[in-house]
Amino acid sequence: MRTDSSPGSLPAREHLPATGAGTPVLDVVVPVYNEEKDLGPCVRRLHEHLTRTFPYAFRITVADNASTDATGHVAARLAADLVEVRSVRLEQKGRGRALRTVWSASDAPVLAYMDVDLSTDLNALLPLVAPLISGHSDLAIGSRLARSSRVVRGAKREFISRTYNLILRGSLQARFSDAQCGFKAIRRDVAQVLLPLVEDTGWFFDTEMLVLAERAGCRIHEVPVDWVDDPDSTVHIVRTATDDLKGVWRVGRALATGSLPLDRLARPFGDDPRDRELTGVPQGLARQLVGFCAVGVLSTLCYLLLYSGFRVFAGSQVANALALLVSAVANTAANRRLTFGVRGRGGAVRHQAQGLVVFGIGLALTSGSLVALSAATTDPDHSTELAVLIAANLAATVLRFLLFRAWVFPETPATGTGRIPEPGVPDQYLVWSDATARLQPVHPAADTDPRDGR
């Protein structure tokens, strides 16, 4: 049943209905490479656990990553013996490639995967997928770094894992705690939108998917797990870590340059109360204040440096005007993109013109403060000038935010159809369907997305 949703809000996530026999709700993928010894016991143990504890129909898919041993024969025998098991053969290696291939073709509404060594206690499987079935979350991950997790592993792996997640938090602003635990699940409707954007085919696949999901506004549920390190793991730690760092650099650069089309994915999934029209509650005010303050601090530092530089060869009034003009143009551009979320070139000139009007008001305030300082003392020192300018800029900053929010970048009223313009493409919209939570592109002309040919 669809959860309650106020008029004009995004479509709510749906609780997955109970399905008939033979239609799986959950498809668990076990990617393997040369695992002829461990594959049989792993799949039979997983099958027994799901049969005993999982209340819905399920499927186990063995994804053979071009194994050169008897793994394929073992997988085929398991598929013959157990009705709920099937095997898929890939001729190229890569865990990410295996997951993308199986998940893209699966008909199950919830997709999961786990490593063949079953290092994660299977009792965490139902808590992992339950939020996806109920419609509460879009993705779910097992976390070995949660406070209540119970983990047994060596100091080297512990150090590498925690260091890697610190790198993700520092470089990609990731908020999830454990990117590489081999225990994850995703709703199929979410996967169909995200997977075409994920480029990695190896171990970095998980991280890239989670970063994009988080940037797209998806809800990621974390489950503390009990995890025991596999001493016989064939994962090459150094090579994997190197590939992961390359992936972090690639994704970070793509996010910084805006080459990923995440604008069209912003909050496509679920019923987000922040997107509802509420009388008397300004939308996005807290986030805008944080962004405006961050941009303001950087702009003030830039202004002071420019003022000090111009002051070497010009008077205080000229130096103030030049420094404020340069920093005002940069401030308007930064607030346009980062604080108020305006994308594309449309309206940029008008916004800069309005920003210059706001600049004129700030110039009047700061210039007036300098005039008042000159009237109070005939030869003020440089530090006094800076202190007065800082105070005047604080007053101008408050007024600038109010003018930016109400005049330069006013919020457009939400429509009842849930339509938002596609950035950079005139008259092209993305429509949230009433039947599903997936985005459906509507193109009045030819498709212009260069990534669609992938």
The residues annotated as belonging to the active site are 206
- CA–CA gap between residue 1 and residue 173 (Å, rounded): 35
C-alpha distance from residue 169 to each of 59, 154, 249, 345, 422 (Å): 35, 23, 13, 30, 29
Opening angle at CA 231, ends 226 and 236, nearest 5: 105
CA distances from 366 to 243, 285, 335, 344, 400 (A): 51, 27, 21, 32, 13
What's the distance, CA 25 to chain centroid? 26
d(CA 332, CA 267): 25
Three-state DSSP state, 398: helix
Strand order in the sheet with 419-421: 419-421, 429-432, 439-442
Cα-flanking dihedrals φ and ψ of residue 109, to 5°? -75, -20
CA 119 distance to own-chain centroid = 27
CA 181/CA 368 separation, integer angstroms: 60
Q: Which of 207, 263, 284, 287 is nearest to 439 (CA)?
A: 263
